[in-house]
Structure 1
Amino acid sequence: MNEPTRVLVTGHNGYLGSVIVPVLQAAGYEVVGLDMGYFRACTLGADNTSVPEITKDLRAIEPPDLQGFDAVIHLAALSNDPIGNLNADWTRQINAEGTVRLATMAKAAGIRRFLFSSSCIMYGMSKAAVVDETAPLAPQTEYARSKAVAEEALRALADDRFSPVYCRNGTVYGLSPRMRFDTVLNNFMGSAFTTGRVEVHSDGTPWRPVVHVQDVARYFKLMLEAPLQDIHNEAFNMGVESLNLQVREIAEIAVEAVPGAQLTLAPKPGADQRTYKADFSKFSRTFPDFEFQSTARKGAQELYEAFRSIALRFEDFTDKRFTRLRWLDHLLKAGMLDDQLRWRTAQPRVA
C-alpha cells in the first residue's frame, strides 16, 4: 500500500470496532468512524483509540457522509438476539434496512469495496453435519434474519462498480476496550473468574465456531487488501476447523483456565439449542497463508490474565454496560433514547 487508504468503519465504538480500528491505523489506513454512540461509555479499561467520527444513526446518513472514502467496513448493528426479540422493528430498520441504505449510498459515491460483517448465526439449527457457504440459511432469530436479508440485498447491488463481501463471523471472544460479557466464551470466563463456577443451561452439545477478536481484526484487514476478483460478491465462513467447538467444550476450557472453577450442567426449558458446525475450507483455499493466531484455550488464558490484571469483580462482570440488551434498556428507561432508539439527550461519556 503506497498511501493510506481512506476507510469508513461503521460501529467503530463497538466491541469489534474498538479492536479493528487500531489494527487498521497501525497498517497505515486513514480511518473515519461512523457510530450512533450507544456504547461509547461501555468501556472496560482504557480506550486510547482516536479517529475522526460521524455521530449518526444508520437510518439518517446522507450522501455527503460517504464522500471521499475508498472502502467501507460495515460493523454497525444491534448486535445480538435478545435485542431483536425485544423489538423486531429496531433490528429490521437498523441491521437490514440501514445496511441497504448505507450500501446504496456507498455505491453512488463510487466506493467499490464494501465489507459486511455478517454471521454464521444465520445457519440456525442446521440439519447438515457441517455447513458451508452454499448451505440453506435457517435463521432462528430477528438478528439472524436481518443478516440474511442484508446479504440478499447487497448481492442485488453488486456489479463491476460495487464489490461487497460477506464475512460470516463465528461467535467472537476476547478482550476489547468496549467489552461484552454476553458472548459465550467471554461469559463463561467472566463467570468462572468472579464466581468460581460456570453453568451451562443447555445439554452442552450445540456447536459454535468461536473466533478471537484480534483474529477478526486481522481478517478484516486481509479483506481490505485482497484482490477483488477473489472476494467479489462472495460469502466466507471466517475461521478454521479447530474453531468449531461444542458449548460444553467451551465451558470446560473456561473452567480449566481459572484455578478452582467448577462446571455445572443445568439444562433449562427454552435454552438456546441452535447448532451449526461451520465449514471453513473456502476461506482456507482463498487465503492459504492466513493463520489464526489464537485458539479458545489460548484466548481463555489471555482473558484470565487480563481479568487478574484489572482485578475484575462480580460487579464488573454483571454491570449493565457489558450486556448489550441491558445497556440499551437502561438508556431507554433513563429517557435518553426514544422508542425508536434515537437520542433524546446528550450521549453518556462516562459510565
Structure 2
Amino acid sequence: MVFWVPALAVLLMCWIFAAGLPQRLPVAVWDEDHTSLSRELTRMLDAAPGLSVAQPVLNGAEAQWALQSMAVYGVVHIPHSTTRDVKQGKAGQVTLLHNAQLATHSSLIQRDVRQVVATLSAGIEMRARARRGDPQQVLQVRMEPIKTNLIALFNISTNYEQFLAAALVPAILHILAMTAGAWSVGRELRDRSLGAWLRGGDWSQTLAALAGKLALPWLSMSAIGLAALLFLTLARGWHVAGSLAWVGVALAALVAVSLAAGALLAAATLSLRTALSGAGLLSAPAFAFSGVGFPLLAMSDSARGWAVSMPYTHYARLQIEQLQAGAPIAQSLPVVAGMTLATLILLALAAWGLRRALARPDKWGGR
C-alpha cells in the first residue's frame, strides 16, 4: 500500500491521459436534405480533428438508439429544407443532439460543430456576395466587423495531460498517504501492540516514535510523486514556467501533512476502522473541491469553506502557479509554510492522543 500500489495507481493515471488531447470523438449525421450542401457539411465534420463521423442514421429512432447506446456522443441533424432555405435567403438550421451528462465530450463536440457550421456558413455567404461583385477585402470586413481575439496564457493546447493527469497524481497520493497514516497507527491499536511499540517514555519519545513510523511511507510516496512529476514535465517535453523543484517540495509537504492527519485520526478515535473511514471521508473528495474541475469561486460559501480547509486545494493552486503560470516562489511560499506548520501541529496532537491511549488499554484490540 505504500510502494507498488501507489506506483501502479500513478502509472495508470499517466497512461490514461497520455494522449493529451481528445480527438476523433464519434458522431452520427442524420441527413434528411441529401444535397451537395449537406454532403459538404458531412465531409467537413469528418475532417475536423476532434470529430469522426462514425455512422449515418436514417431517422429519429436510430439517432436515439445511437446516443443511448453510446455508439456516438452526438448526432448532427440536417433537416430536409436546409438547402432550400439557404437558397431562398433564409437561415438554415442544423441541430446538434448531444449527451450533456458527458460534459467533456459534449463541450468538445459543441465547439467543433459550431466551428465547422460557422466556416461553412461564412463560405456560402462570401461566395454569394462575391457573385454580386463585392471585393474580397470588403467581404472579410462585412462578414466579421468585430473580431474576438482570444489569448490563452497557460496550457495553450488545452492538453488534458497537463490539466488532469498532473492534478490527479497528487490527489491519489493524498488519499493513499492519509490512509497509510491511519493504518500505521491504527493497526498498533488493533493488534494490542501499542505498549510494545511506544515502550512508555515521555511525550517527546512518543513523537519521535510516531515520526519514525511515518518516515518510510513519506519517503516512498514522495519519491513516487516526484518521479511522476518529472515524467509528466521533463520526459513529456513540457515547458515548466516556474520552479519544478519548488513543486517537488510542496508535494513532499502534502504527503507529510496527509500522513500526519491520518495518524491523528487513529490516535484520536482509538479505532482503526473509524480512522480509515475518516481518512476516506476527508481525502477522497479533495480533488472535487480543489477548484481544478469545478471553479472554486462558483461554489457555495459552505463548499468553498470546506475546500480551503483541505491541504490539497492549496497544493493544486501552487502546482498550477509554478508549472504553468510561472508565479514567483514568494507567492507560493505561504502554502508550503502552512502545510509544514500543519504537519507539525498534527503530529504533536497525534502524539498527545497516543499518550492518552497508553493509559486506556481497555480500548486496544478494537477494529
TM-score in same-fold range (> 0.5):
no
Greater share of strand:
1
* Larger Rg computed on CA atoms: 2
TM class by shorter chain equals under 0.3
TM-score, length of structure 2 as denominator length: 0.26
TM-score, length of structure 1 as denominator length: 0.27
